[in-house]
Amino acid sequence: MRWGTQTTVGAFVLGGILLAVGAIVFFGKFNFFNPVIQAVIVFQDSISGLSIGSPVTFRGVPVGSVERIGIQFQPNTSTAFIPVVIRLEPDRARIARPQGSAPLDVEELVKRGLRAELNIQSFVTGQAQIDLDFDPGSEPVLHPDISGLPEIPTKQSVIQVAKQQLSQLPWRELADNTNDTLQSLKTLSEKLDEDLPPLVDSLKATSDRSAQAVQTAGEAIKALEARLDTTLANINQLTSTADGQLNARGAELSKLLTASDHAMAQARDLVADLRTATSSRSADRANVESTLRDLAAAAASLRGFASDVERNPQLLLTGRKP
């Protein structure tokens, strides 16, 4: 009976030990079949927000975590280095590699351009994380005297570059320029306080004059409208009178036009008769020419008789002797 009790107690103790070992293995991230790989990342700037257990990601994919954080200060150069030991889990990142090669060769990846940068994980909590990525164009800066672990070089993150650029800004000059600008604004404000009241009074007087001018123009427009109405009424009356006179004189104008047409017809007939009479073949023209010749001969005879009478007046009494 006693032997059975001891066996039961030993079994419970052995089971507890096995459970404890299993908890340590699974919850403590121990992996005996696929061991983790350690590497070191050396920072020189502040790593505020980074703590043990912070994630290590590759392009957003978790591949490990921060295991240890230290600091080394070199008095001769007044330089502080912050080595951060990380643990990489190869089962989370599969890399095509030849048979027999190392499962994850950090040094080979560094030669290919693997770099680490510190980024903010959450702007609310301020927690930071380490991001890994390939950047073959950046020159690696290694620190072999700080740690014996494989080192992953660092590169500046976007936030660090922004901080550096902000730190290089001439804040003193900007502050002086801001003070000068504020002083100029103050002077301008005081000047406006002095100049605005007269300007406002002038604007008010101008506005009053403009209102008076508008009122005067309105009155003139009203008077002009009355005159225009009278003028339009007179024009309408004149138009009506002219229409009446034109209607009354319409018959007379028609008669006058008829008489004019008749006179023109008679004038055309007279012109035709004159043309006929003056034609070279016209009998009337021949008679006229004969009559003119006879008249010319009679005139010649009279001139001859007159000459004889002047020489011998007695011819009036005796006449010519045959």
* Cα–Cα distance, 86 to 88 (Å, whole number): 7
Predicted confidence (pLDDT) per residue in 163-213, tens digit: 666 667 777 888 888 888 888 888 888 887 787 788 788 888 888 888 888
Three-state SS string over the chain comes to CHHHHHHHHHHHHHHHHHHHHHHHHHHCCCCCCCCCEEEEEEECCCCCCCCCCCEEEECCEEEEEEEEECCEEECCCCEEEEEEEEEECHHHCCCCCCCCCCCCCHHHHHHCCEEEEEEECCCCCCCEEEEEEECCCCCCCCCCCCCCCCECCECCCHHHHHHHHHHCCCHHHHHHHHHHHHHHHHHHHHHHHHHHHHHHHHHHHHHHHHHHHHHHHHHHHHHHHHHHHHHHHHHHHHHHHHHHHHHHCHHHHHHHHHHHHHHHHHHHHHHHHHHHHCCCCCHHHHHHHHHHHHHHHHHHHHHHHHHHHHHCCCHHHHCCCC
CA angle 133, 163, 55 (to 5 degrees): 40
**What pLDDT does residue 1 have?**
46
Predicted confidence (pLDDT) per residue in 81-126, tens digit: 999 999 988 777 665 555 544 556 888 888 889 999 998 888 888 8
- What is the percent of the chain where pLDDT is above 70? 76
**What pLDDT does residue 318 have?**
65
Query: With bands split at pLDDT 50, 70 and 90, how would you rate the model's confidence at 33?
Result: very low
Query: What are the CA-CA distances from residue 100 to residues 94, 108, 173, 184, 185 (Å)?
Result: 15, 15, 62, 76, 75
What's the residue count for the chain? 322
> What does the mean pLDDT of the chain come to?
78
Could you tell me which of 115, 109, 105, 108 has the C-alpha nearest to residue 141? 115
- What is the percent of the chain where pLDDT is above 90? 13
Per the listing, tokens 């900007």 go with: 174
Burial of 158 (0-12, 13-18, 19+ CB in 10 A): exposed
Query: With bands split at pLDDT 50, 70 and 90, how would you rate the model's confidence at 42?
Result: very high
Which range, 3-12, 41-50, 262-271, has the best average confidence (pLDDT)?
Answer: 41-50
Q: Are 116 and 129 in contact (CB under 8 A)?
A: no
Predicted confidence (pLDDT) per residue in 275-319, tens digit: 776 666 667 777 777 787 888 777 777 777 777 767 776 666 666
Does the pLDDT at position 12 exceed 70? no
